[in-house]
A = this chain, B = another copy of it.
Amino acid sequence: MDHLRADFPILERKVNGKRLAYLDSSATTQKPNQVIDAIGDYYRRYNSNVHRGAHTLADEATTAYEGARTKVAEFIGASSSDELVFTRGTTSSINMIAYGWGLNRLHPGDRILLTVMEHHANVVPWQLIAKHTGAELVYLELTDDFRVDLSTLDSVVDERLKIISVSGMSNVTGAFGPVAELVEAARRVGAIVIVDAAQSVPHLPTDVTAIGADFLAFSAHKMLGPTGIGALWGRREILEKMEPAEGGGEMITDVRLYESKWAPIPHKFEAGTPPIAQAVGFGAAVDYLDKVGMSEVRKHEIEITQYALDRLADVPDLTLVGPTDIAVRGGTVSFELGDVHPHDVATILDQEGVAVRAGHHCAKPLMRYLDVPATARASFYLYTVKEDIDQMVAGLHRAREIFGLV
C-alpha cells in the first residue's frame, strides 16, 4: 500500500524536524487529495443549499449530496439509501437513537445493556436517557484477554432488556465487540441492537444485512473523510417508527402552528441545512476506500498490526493493553511503558516526529475497570508503513533512556 501515501499531502510534513509518523488514526485519519479536492471543488463550482431549490446549483448540490448518501449506503451493504441518515458523527448518531427511540419508548425498569469497554459516546447518551425515562443501565465486563465477557449475558437477557449498544471495535484495546452474539441474544427478547461502528466500519469490510443489527453508527473523519459528518444506518422498519430527535427545516412535509408532519426517512432525521460539502467529501472517501478494497485494508492492517505487536513485545517494560490475537482485534494498540506516564511517552515520541495519543481515550469506565489511569495508543490505517512503527519503537527506547529505565 506504500504507493497510496503520495495521495496524503500531510504525510510529507516534518514534525519537530523529523519525518511525521502519524499513528493516531483512531482519533482521526488523514485525508487523501481526492477528498480534499472534492470539497474544494464543491465550494468553487456548485455550492448551494439542497432540496429546496429550483435552480441549477441547487440541483447539482442536491444530486451530489444524495449521490454521496447512495455511495455510503452501498459501502456498508445497505439495501437502500433511505436507510442511511447523514449525521454529524458517531456521537450524534447515537444521541439521535437515544433521544429518538429511547426517550420516546423507554419506561422505568427497562434496561439498556452496554459493555465496560464503550467509548463515552456510547455511555453518556444512555445515562442521559436513563435519567429522563427511569430506565437502567447494565454492563457486560471483560475477560482477561480484554474481550467482552459473555458468561453473564443470559442473566440480563429478559423482557426488561430493550436496547443493546456495543462497540464493533474498542478504540482503546482494539478488541472486536461480540456483535453477532448480542444480536442473537437481542432477538430472543425483541431488544434492538446498536453497533458503535466508529472503529469498525473504517477498518473492516462491512455488510449491514449480514450483521443483523438494527443500527450502525460511524464517522466520516475516521475513514478518510472530512470532520463534521457521520452516518446512522438503521433498519427501515425501525427508522420508520423512530421519532426525530431534532426538529427544523427539511425534515417535515408540513408544519402548522401546533403540530407538524414528518418527511419520509431518511429526511425526517436531517433537520436543517445538512453538512453538504462534508457529504461530498464523505462520498469521495468511500470511493477511495472502495477502490482500494476493504479486504485489502484489513489485510494491510493485519500485517502492520502484527509487525507492531512483535516489535513492541521486544521493548522492555512495555505492557500491551489489549488482546494479542490478531484475529480478534484491529490496528489500535494501547500500551504502558514502565512508570513513564503515557503523556510523557507521547511528548517524547512527538519530539521524534511520532504522533500517538495518551490518556483515557474517552473511555474512562474502561480505564477504571482495567485499573490503568491512562495508556499510550498507536493506531494504524491503510497509509501506515513499517517505518512508522520502527520510528515509534526507537522513540520508546529513547523514552526509557530519558526516564532512566535502561
Residues of chain A at the chain B interface (Cβ within 8 Å)? 9-10, 13, 15-16, 20, 22, 24, 27-28, 30-31, 35-36, 39-40, 43-49, 52-58, 88-92, 94-95, 98-99, 103, 116, 119-121, 123-128, 132, 137, 139, 219, 221, 226-229, 244-252, 254-260, 271-278, 343, 346-347, 349-350, 354-359, 361-362, 364-365, 368
- Which residues of the partner chain B approach A139 to less than 8 Å between Cβ atoms? 257
Would B247 and A95 count as touching, CB distance under 8 A?
Answer: yes
- Among A28, A52, A227, A256, find the residue whose CB has the most chain B CB atoms closer than 10 A: A227
A368 to B259, CA, bound (A): 14
| Chain A interface, DSSP helix/strand/loop, else mixed | mixed
- Which residues of the partner chain B approach A15 to less than 8 Å between Cβ atoms? 55-57
Q: Which residue in chain B gives the minimum CB-CB distance to A103?
A: B132
- Distance in angstroms from A300 CB to nearest chain B CB is 21
A58 to B30, CA, bound (A): 12
A271 contact from B121, B221, B355, Cβ within 8 A: B121
Q: Which residue in chain B gives the minimum CB-CB distance to A137?
A: B258
A219 to B139, CA, bound (A): 39
Would A273 and B219 count as touching, CB distance under 8 A?
Answer: yes
- Distance in angstroms from A75 CB to nearest chain B CB is 20
A256 to B137, CA, bound (A): 12
- Which residues of the partner chain B approach A57 to less than 8 Å between Cβ atoms? 10, 15, 20, 22, 24, 355
A275 to B278, CA, bound (A): 10
A356 to B53, CA, bound (A): 8
Q: Considering the complex of A and B, which 5 residue pairs feature the smallest CB-CB distances, nearest first? A: A91-B272, A124-B247, A228-B275, A249-B362, A54-B346
Q: Which residue in chain B gives the minimum CB-CB distance to A25?
A: B49
Known: A48-B24, A359-B52. A88 touches B123 (CB 8 A): no
Instruction: Name 6 extra pairs, CB < 8 A, besides A24-B55, A39-B39, A54-B343.
Output: A10-B44, A13-B45, A16-B56, A124-B247, A249-B362, A257-B365
Q: Which residue in chain B gives the minimum CB-CB distance to A349?
A: B55
Would A347 and B275 count as touching, CB distance under 8 A?
Answer: no
- Distance in angstroms from A139 CB to nearest chain B CB is 6
Q: How many copies does the complex hold?
A: 2
A90 contact from B9, B56, B119, B272, Cβ within 8 A: B272
- Distance in angstroms from A99 CB to nearest chain B CB is 7
Would A277 and B10 count as touching, CB distance under 8 A?
Answer: no
A99 contact from B94, B99, B361, Cβ within 8 A: B99
Would A350 and B56 count as touching, CB distance under 8 A?
Answer: yes
Would A47 and B30 count as touching, CB distance under 8 A?
Answer: yes
- Distance in angstroms from A113 CB to nearest chain B CB is 12
A92 contact from B9, B40, B246, B255, Cβ within 8 A: B246
Q: Which residue in chain B gives the minimum CB-CB distance to A226?
A: B277
Would A364 and B256 count as touching, CB distance under 8 A?
Answer: yes
Interface CB pairs A-B, < 8 A, 11? A24-B57, A27-B52, A31-B47, A36-B40, A52-B359, A55-B349, A58-B357, A91-B249, A139-B257, A227-B275, A278-B278
- Which residues of the partner chain B approach A121 to less than 8 Å between Cβ atoms? 247-249, 271-272
Known: A272-B90, A277-B226. A255 touches B365 (CB 8 A): yes
Known: A47-B10, A94-B248, A120-B248. A88 touches B275 (CB 8 A): yes
- Distance in angstroms from A175 CB to nearest chain B CB is 19
A54 to B350, CA, bound (A): 8
Q: Which residue in chain B gives the minimum CB-CB distance to A9?
A: B44
Q: Which residue in chain B gives the minimum CB-CB distance to A229?
A: B228
